[in-house]
Amino acid sequence: MSLKITREKIKNSLVDKIEEISGQNVFDCYQCGICSSGCPVTDYMDYSPNQVMRLLQLGSVDEILNSKTIWICSTCLQCSTRCPKGIEVAQVMEALRTINLRQREGTLKPEDIKSKELKDLPPIALVSAFRKLTG
């Protein structure tokens, strides 16, 4: 993948917003990759968690906001627990989802849940999915 890095891009105000919502400094990351090695769902992601951190450092917010990764993250907190720099990576993922959700762009469309599925799914699955994946 090729990336054009410009001063304007790196000084992206959306990165500031992500830092504000998550309470994390994305420039703390030194790319050791332990977040990605512990993540149980990287198979389904387009960018691994450490790539998300790197792209944020380079100001490539659009790639990340449109990525599958932020929605596949299940908030298991393994990355946050293991980061040697103490970055709460899961909180960065939450901030990225939140920016989309505040524009009402989530990935869960309630009308798409089949009635058979709805009958089987427990309240705990529905409430948590609505909280994390709908705006």
Choose between 31 and 128: whose C-beta lies nearer to another protein: 128
Q: Which is nearer to another protein, 24 or 51 (CB)?
A: 24
Separation between Cα atoms, residue 53 and residue 127, nearest integer Å: 28
Residues 72-101 that bind another protein (CB under 8 A): 72, 74-78, 80-81, 88, 90-91, 94-95, 98
Residue 123 contacts another protein per CB under 8 A: yes
Among 16, 20, 28, 105, interactor with another protein by CB under 8 A: 20
CB of 8 to another protein, least distance (A): 26
Kindly write out the interface string for residues 21-40 of this chain, putting x where it contacts another protein by CB under 8 A and - elsewhere.
xxx----------------x
Burial of 102 (0-12, 13-18, 19+ CB in 10 A): exposed
Q: Does 103 bind another protein (CB under 8 A)?
A: no
Q: How many residues bind another protein (CB under 8 A)?
A: 40
- Angstrom distance (rounded) from CA 24 to CA 95: 10
What gap in Å lies between CA 23 and CA 17, rounded to an integer? 10
| Span near another protein by CB under 8 A; candidates 6-14, 25-33, 53-61, 115-123 | 115-123
119 φ/ψ sector (left φ>0, alpha ψ -120 to 50, else beta): alpha
- Give me the phi and psi of 11, to 5 degrees please: -90, 55
Q: Please give the Cα distance from 107 to 91 (Å, whole number).
A: 18
Work out whether 61 is an interface residue with another protein (CB under 8 A).
Answer: no
